[in-house]
Structure 1
Amino acid sequence: MKKSTVMTEGVIWKEILFFSIPLILGNLFQQLYNTVDSIIVGNYIGSEALAAVGSSSSIINLLIGFCIGASAGAGVVISQFYGAGDKNGLKKAVHTTVAISIAAGVILTVAGIALAPVILRAMGTPAEVFREAVVYLQVYFGGIVFSVIYNMSAGILNAVGNSRRSLVYLMIAAFSNIVLDILFVIVLKMGIVGAALATDISQLLSCVFIILYLVKSKEVYHVNIKEIRFYDNLLSKIIRIGLPTGIQNIVISFSNVIVQSSVNSFGAVAMAGFAAYIKIDGFNILPVLSFGMAAATFTGQNVGAGKYDRVKKGMYVSVGMGVVYTILTGILLLTFAPQVIGVFTKNPDVVGYGVYIMRYFCPFYWLLGILQVLSGTIRGAGKTLETMLVFLFSLCILRVAWIWGALAIEHKLDWVMTAYPVSWLVGAVLILLYAWKGNWMPGRRKKDAAMPLSS
């Protein structure tokens, strides 16, 4: 198995595509965790339990999103050190990243368990699903530290071009999750607790495997347990680059909490339909995020090597891949919409809501493809504050303002769902404008600095 990929040489589209494929498969297997939970919960426990899992998902994404986004800062720093061939800087960045993941995982575990009832109540979760949603969320957060450590460790491997190894561990975890779901929910009748516990154990497996690999590896990104600490100069650099992306993810997740709260006001059946489709939505969006991650790694390594023309070419290639993928999957999902939603539940009303919601998402995913992949390229150059501002305005401020304003005029689900394509369109336009006119490319910045001032 190839242990790392230097993306500063070779055919650009091949480097990006072959690096992206394990990322796509890995993200899809990770999405399989909660999807299997939802399928089994919806079919063997009931639609109210499915609604409880669905209402918990937005909160889970809210808290995890910050740490995964922050790990992007580590990925940019590590990829730039790797591209530049700076082994000492790379070593310190890797150990600082592991230290961040442990600290963040512990904080998230405590916060998630303590705040679950408060947040669910603030979201207006209906009484009939509130108790089960709290239980599911608290059990899930009991194992969140394993997910955080795994994801940030996978970020280390991705930054050096090794996207295959983490895929293997995710496959093991995903299949174990299926087996444990069947055992805990169907055989042992443990209900919603069994579904959450199955996910916790599966995340523990992926965490243990990836840490053991990093510790035993002889590569430059090897982890020495005794050297795990916060290296001051790199801690501040990782935070400076990663914090905007972490904030970006948390505000997007916050806007999704607002959306979930709005959907909750339409009752448990609408909640279940939305929960079912959001799982499918993950299978479509995660590959787009993978192209964005590949673009960030490609850009980081080539910026480190000073190959700025190659960065520009890679940007066009990765955005093209994201757009083509989203158009194809959008068509496919719309064609088989009833069958896809029907996997989660046999309740015709829930299926109807799921199909209805799908029609607001699928035709417009290509806009999200432009936004996510292009922002990945810009993040790889270290410009994370600017991408955060684009996401903050389009996917949070605009989306929330749209929903609150529209529902104040007319309480109709159409207005809630329309917020998604509108916010994607605005975000895509803004990121395109910044990519065209912004001072984010290192080569462009140096060229501009060398130009004499006009009189």
Structure 2
Amino acid sequence: MSKETKKKLTLFALTWPIFIELLLHMLMGNADTLMLSQYSDQSVAAVGVSNQLLSLVIVMFGFISTGTAVLIAQNIGAKKNSTAKEVAVVSIALNLIFGLALSLLVFFFYKPILGIMDLPSELYEEAGIYLKIVGGFAFIQAIIMTIGAIVRSYGFTKDIMYITIGMNIINVIGNYLFIFGPFGIPVLGVEGVAISTTVSRFIGLIAAIIILFKRVPGKFPFQMLWRIPKAHIQNLLRIGVPSAGENLSYNASQMVITFFIAMLGTEALTSKVYVQNVTMFLMLFGMAIAQGTQIIVGHMIGGKELEQAYKRGLDSLRKAIIIAFFMAIAASIFSKGLLGIFTTNQDIIQTGSILIILSIILEPGRAFNMVLINALRAAGDVKFPVYIGIMSMWGVSVPLSYILGIYFEMGLIGVWIAFIADEWLRGILMLRRWKARGWLEKTRFFVA
């Protein structure tokens, strides 16, 4: 790699824009819900259910963009710029096709999809409107995610951050106009929010395309779409499908655990939501470091800098653990005040405070997984984290949540202990894999 490239690929330079982007997604991702709360509680519930369904669609888009990020980073590191562009073109085409297929599915079959959720009749119409509009144009998000993965792999994480900021500002302005109806603009409620979300994404897509052609030098070989190399598709699927399987498995296991928590009552469910709202902020640092590490390790693997890649993974892990530990301590000190933002129920605040204290142990374990799984993925070792993840999620987290939380009546504290056991077991196994360098033999699959 050139000195210029190395300068761009310092962990801090890559990570802070990713952190801000993730923070914006966390704070603004529920902007529709927050602003609709001033309009109608019923509308909030309808949009909430629709977004829960659409989040599964977004996960499905992620498997192509995940493979894209790894393959392009490796090829850039190997100085195979033409191959990197080929992968970019194939990725955009595949996610466009996949995105259109899922969008049409949601658009035409939103009624039976909502029927599966057994919605109350009063929510059905508004949920259907939101799902039809936002889901029908979901392919826009698929392309944005893919272009974002491409641009980040070249080291330009700030550009994607700026696009995210712009999309959020446009979305909030649109929400305000259609919810509160200033200047004589008609109040459209849920329909207006759906339109605002879709328009902001469309403008974001235009900006992403401009950034793509501006930041990546040379022409893209779009003519190759008539004869797409099978090797690129195979490599994208080899990385993306297992990664998507891991995400789907995690979401499914969390749904089962939520079902267990529901046995404990509404107060327990509410406590879980509030605590996770607080701890999500703690996770952002680890997530940003993990994504930055994936880009750097991918470049190093492509450049055959295997020892540097090994050291980079461990150094990033140390930083993530230290940050997670001290952030969790800070959250614990101010836990009652943080939870007080959401509720005045003292029982919820008391239980939630104990759970946040347990995050001092939980979050460093989670950092192990976020950083090392991304590092292993960047090296092409994608199956091992999936196998271990599924084994631990369904062999430790789910059964232990029931045994401790329900059978031994430890409630949410028992569930959180199960989370700790799951994260640390997986984390230790990931560390052993990284230190044993079992990933070295996987690198040959993607970069010759």
Q: Flag the 1:287–1:301 CA change in 2: closer, same or farther, 3 A.
A: same
C-alpha distance in structure 1 between counterparts of 2:44 and 2:272, whole Å: 10
Q: Flag the 1:63–1:329 CA change in 2: closer, same or farther, 3 A.
A: farther
Pairing 1:423–2:417 present: no
Alpha-carbon contact 1:214-1:223 (below 8 Å) kept:
no
Cα deviations by residue, 1:112-146 (Å, 9 ceiling, x for unpaired): 45676666666677788777666555544233222
Q: TM-score, normalised to structure 2's length?
A: 0.82
Deviation at 1:246, TM superposition (A): 1.7
Q: TM-score, normalised to structure 1's length?
A: 0.81
Where do 1:276-425 residues align within 5 Å? Answer: 276-341=274-339, 343=341, 348=345, 352=349, 355=352, 359=356, 362-363=359-360, 364-404=362-402, 409=407, 412-425=411-424
Pairing 1:212–2:207 present: no
Deviation at 1:231, TM superposition (A): 2.9
Deviation at 1:428, TM superposition (A): 1.1
Where do 1:147-166 residues align within 5 Å? Answer: 147-166=141-160
Q: Flag the 1:218–1:129 CA change in 2: closer, same or farther, 3 A.
A: closer
Alpha-carbon contact 1:303-1:442 (below 8 Å) kept:
no
Residue 16 of structure 1 corresponds to which residue in structure 2? 11
Which runs of 5 or more structure 1 residues have no equivalent in the other structure? 446-455
Question: Comparing 355-364 with 97-106, which one deviates more in the overlay?
Answer: 355-364
Pairing 1:237–2:235 present: yes
Residue 453 of structure 1 corresponds to which residue in structure 2? none
Residues matched between the structures, number: 437
With CA pairs under 8 Å and 6+ residues apart, which has the higher RCO, 1 or 2? 1
C-alpha distance in structure 2 between counterparts of 1:18 and 1:271, whole Å: 39
C-alpha distance in structure 2 between counterparts of 1:135 and 1:102, whole Å: 23
C-alpha distance in structure 1 between counterparts of 2:192 and 2:294, whole Å: 37
Paired letter, 1:328? F
Alpha-carbon contact 1:97-1:152 (below 8 Å) kept:
yes
Cα deviations by residue, 1:304-340 (Å, 9 ceiling, x for unpaired): 1111111112112211222122223323333444554
| 1:170 alignment partner, SS class | helix
Deviation at 1:225, TM superposition (A): 5.4
C-alpha distance in structure 2 between counterparts of 1:440 and 1:242, whole Å: 17
Which runs of 5 or more structure 2 residues have no equivalent in the other structure? none
Alpha-carbon contact 2:11-2:292 (below 8 Å) kept:
yes
Pairing 1:171–2:165 present: yes
Question: Comparing 418-427 with 22-31, which one deviates more in the overlay?
Answer: 418-427
Pairing 1:32–2:30 present: no
Alpha-carbon contact 1:82-1:160 (below 8 Å) kept:
yes
In angstroms, what is the RMSD of aligned CA positions? 3.7
Deviation at 1:260, TM superposition (A): 4.1
Paired letter, 2:384? E
C-alpha distance in structure 2 between counterparts of 1:148 and 1:113, whole Å: 16
Deviation at 1:432, TM superposition (A): 1.6
Where do 1:79-228 residues align within 5 Å? Answer: 79-112=73-106, 136-187=130-181, 190-217=188-215, 219-220=217-218, 223=220, 227-228=224-225
Cα deviations by residue, 1:276-317 (Å, 9 ceiling, x for unpaired): 554444433233222112111111111111111111121122
C-alpha distance in structure 1 between counterparts of 2:199 and 2:57, whole Å: 19
Paired letter, 1:434? R
Q: Flag the 1:136–1:331 CA change in 2: closer, same or farther, 3 A.
A: farther
C-alpha distance in structure 2 between counterparts of 1:366 and 1:218, whole Å: 36
Alpha-carbon contact 1:288-1:372 (below 8 Å) kept:
yes
Residue 452 of structure 1 corresponds to which residue in structure 2? none
Q: Flag the 1:27–1:108 CA change in 2: closer, same or farther, 3 A.
A: farther
Q: Flag the 1:135–1:444 CA change in 2: closer, same or farther, 3 A.
A: closer
Alpha-carbon contact 2:355-2:413 (below 8 Å) kept:
no
Cα deviations by residue, 1:204-249 (Å, 9 ceiling, x for unpaired): 22222102322455614x5465555643221111111222112112
| 2:304 alignment partner, SS class | coil
Paired letter, 1:231? P
Alpha-carbon contact 1:27-1:287 (below 8 Å) kept:
no
Question: Comparing 107-116 with 379-388, which one deviates more in the overlay?
Answer: 107-116
Residue 433 of structure 1 corresponds to which residue in structure 2? 432
Deviation at 1:93, TM superposition (A): 0.7
Alpha-carbon contact 2:294-2:378 (below 8 Å) kept:
yes
Question: Comparing 268-277 with 417-426, which one deviates more in the overlay?
Answer: 268-277
